[in-house]
Amino acid sequence: MMRILALVPGGTGDQLLFFPTLDTLKQQYPNAEIDVVAEPRAIAAYQVSQSVNRVLKFDFNDRNSLADFGNLLGTIRDREYDAAILAKPSLSINTLLWLSGIPKRISFSGAGEFLLTDVIAADPQEYGAVQNHNLLISLNNQHSCPPIKVTLSKNDLDWAAAEQKRLSINKSGFILLNCGASANYPADSWAEIALDMQAKLPDLPIVAIDSVNNADLLKQLTARVPNLIITSPTDIGKLTAMIAAANLFICAEGDAMQLGVAVGTALVAILGANTSASVLLPVQEKRIKYVQANHGQSLKAIAPQTVLAKIWEG
């Protein structure tokens, strides 16, 4: 049986951008065992993937001791993988893969590439999911990059249906906001967006997601926006199901944005200036709109009127 190991540093959004690569691997090698090494903060992403057999925990950004590297190396050796794919070049991880004896080691050009068997040149302006998918060239893949897809359990779908009923929005539909923390896009700007949408679409409730580190922002928002509804999904499956049920999803840049991409909901994203929108999003899809801060500016510099103009444009 073929065994493939994917090592994917980063958060949940980075994992989701790697999902098309994993899905193609599963399609190309349906009997293969596909394992992933992910950071503790991102392991939950694989709750909505059907292409992975096992997820191993390793904090790529931590100051790992020799014992940490040794434990991961031992696990990898025990599994006797046929191929390893690293999503971001790293001298330390490439060294570990070389020491593991995996016969095919694939990653992008960069630090430690001399320890790889296959080096792929990356286009820094290419959509992230397509960049990752290009790593499969070394495995003779002939498929183009598919869209990000997630799999929701019946329990998650049932929870979302019950939550909509509890919030009295099961028949009207709703607009969903993922505001993030106040350090990102400020509460006053979110409030102006919500109030404008309430005025123009009075019969369409506005629901905000209660997530980690945004309690202060939501407190300010509920004080400013009458009849704002709060939902509190307890895991990624429930969050994804709520995003899938929404008529429109408006979000600050972050992990939830990639869930919006995956489920097909109409999306308006508010992006920082650090990364090109074409790298973060499949911008050719008509349902996906975005506004982005200018170079050198923070997310806070984006006027709510700019976001509203994007929401209401044809």
Provide, rounded to the nearest whole percent, the portion of the chain with pLDDT above 70.
98
180, 300 in Cβ contact below 8 A?
no
The larger pLDDT score, comparing residue 184 to residue 309, is at: 309
pLDDT tier, 170 (very low <50, low <70, confident <90, very high otherwise)? confident
How many Å apart are CA 21 and CA 23, to the nearest integer?
5
The predicted structure's pLDDT at residue 182:
53
Give Cα 193 distance to the centre of its chain: 24
Structure confidence at residue 177 as a pLDDT band (50, 70, 90): very high
3, 33 in Cβ contact below 8 A? yes
- What is the reported pLDDT for 220? 92
Name residue 270's beta-bridge partners.
252, 291
Contact by Cβ (8 Å): 104, 138: yes
Q: What is the pLDDT of residue 130?
A: 97
What count of other Cβ atoms lies within 10 Å of the Cβ of residue 204?
Answer: 15
pLDDT at 183 over 80: no
In this prediction, residue 180 carries a pLDDT of: 78
Output the average pLDDT for the chain.
93
Q: Name which of 123, 6, 108, 2 is nearest 60 in CA terms.
A: 6
> What pLDDT does residue 233 have?
95
Residue 171 confidence (pLDDT): 84
Kindly report, residue by residue over 35-88, the tens digit of the pLDDT: 999 999 999 999 999 999 999 999 987 677 778 888 899 999 999 999 999 999
| Alpha carbons 240 and 156: distance in angstroms, whole number | 8
Instruction: Give 138's DSSP letter.
Output: G
Q: Which domains does the chain have, with CATH numbers?
A: 3-139 (3.40.50.2000), 154-312 (3.40.50.2000)
Extract the tokens encoding 303: 């006027």
**Structure token pair of residue 246:** 């929404």
Residue 209's Cα: distance from chain center in Å?
16
> Tens of pLDDT along 85-120?
999 989 999 999 999 999 999 999 998 899 999 999
pLDDT value, residue 164: 96
pLDDT of residue 37: 97
> What are the strands, taking DSSP E only, across the chain?
3-8, 33-38, 54-57, 83-86, 104-108, 118-120, 175-178, 206-209, 229-231, 248-252, 266-271, 288-292
- Crossing angle between the packed helical segments 154-166 and 236-245, to the nearest 10 degrees: 60
Mean pLDDT of all residues in 291-300: 89
Q: Which two tokens stand for residue 141?
A: 């893949």
Q: What is the pLDDT of residues 193-234, one digit of tens each?
A: 999 999 999 999 999 999 877 888 999 999 999 999 999 999
**Spatial contact of 238 and 260, defined as CB atoms under 8 Å apart:** no
Q: How much is the pLDDT for 168?
A: 92
Whole-number Å distance between alpha carbons of 144 and 130: 8
